Structure 1
């Protein structure tokens, strides 16, 4: 059965970088069985309504400015899967999440930035889902639980975000990690390993440096959804952790 993954997507430049994290992404996917389809939830598709992509072939959106021309040449023309999109509508309706299909939504860099590295052939069907940051974290977890049924059908579920992700704090010339960022990551790691949902749902009050690490929830939510998709066995493995720019974490978790 496929795992669910939480993957940090860093900055848009990740798609062009060669570092320990991008090497991990390439090597890990080569070692995994190839999924029949991918469901990805990116922090960069926010919506007050639950949206589900239903395109036949994906376009990409460059949802950023100020980067080199090379990155604007990246495309990711993966096929969609209308049957899977419709199936997700049904699964989410069971938890009173009433979704809508979107036949135009392109992949944002939280999605294509990772997929371009992991599966460069773009030959696996992809369905992307929006994130509603207004939903409480226990409901985000329930979304993951609902999607978890798809893992039995060889569907890879990816939550794309960032555990320590605050662009106002990054130090562009700093090559070591700041203590506060390490501290928050270590706190999250301990709670995940103990499957302490109460703490993870209330990280703002319980975690050290929570407002510095998570100034807004949209990059944290994909972690909770990916974890929810592993609810049946509650087995977590930290696959990779590194830092860029002093405090931007590049973290990968697997949930079986």
Structure 2
């Protein structure tokens, strides 16, 4: 495998053979964050660099904060799989993939070490600056592939990243009582909620039916933006947090005026 100069100055290059050309784009406009979900960082890294796996990422962030670059940013790494965001599929062509060493849900969802998150923030800030990536396009794997994926998980500190200048965030509305929507519900209120999810970017069917698929999309939203309770039930806290996220987007505000 040919080596290459690191795009991020803090990274050490360890080439993966698993990449291709971006399709329809000259460069990325999204950051996609993953956890490795394997028992050890070493086994995850071996898998990402093995030709037989047919998977890779642009970057790999170790528990101690050290960073490896596996694929050049100009190239298309194979990390996202099937998914979409704002109606666009082929997430691999749109994104820079960052794998973060963490055993994830299979390993009991351990906390992310502070030094590791600091490294993730530094890497993201550098990518955002160089590629002019919008704040709302820093996403988790579970955002673009609800139901199918759950990483980087509800313990990932999105609020901490936002405070450092990475990603879109509002403080979640407190969980309280009141009306809620769940599997089996139908009607105009469901359709309105689906429209909000779709407007933010989720691959939601706007059909007025709270299906199992929609429950998975609500859970994915909660996992990122309201992680205190991830249950797929659209309570007031979930809906209000979504509304506040939408109204804080410049594009949404300009359409509303």
Q: Which has the larger radius of gyration?
A: 2
**Structure with the greater relative contact order (CA < 8 A, sep ≥ 6): 1 or 2?**
1
What is the TM-score of this pair, normalised by structure 1? 0.29
Between Structure 1 and Structure 2, which shows a larger proportion of strand residues?
1
Given the two structures, how large is their TM-score scaled by the length of structure 2? 0.29
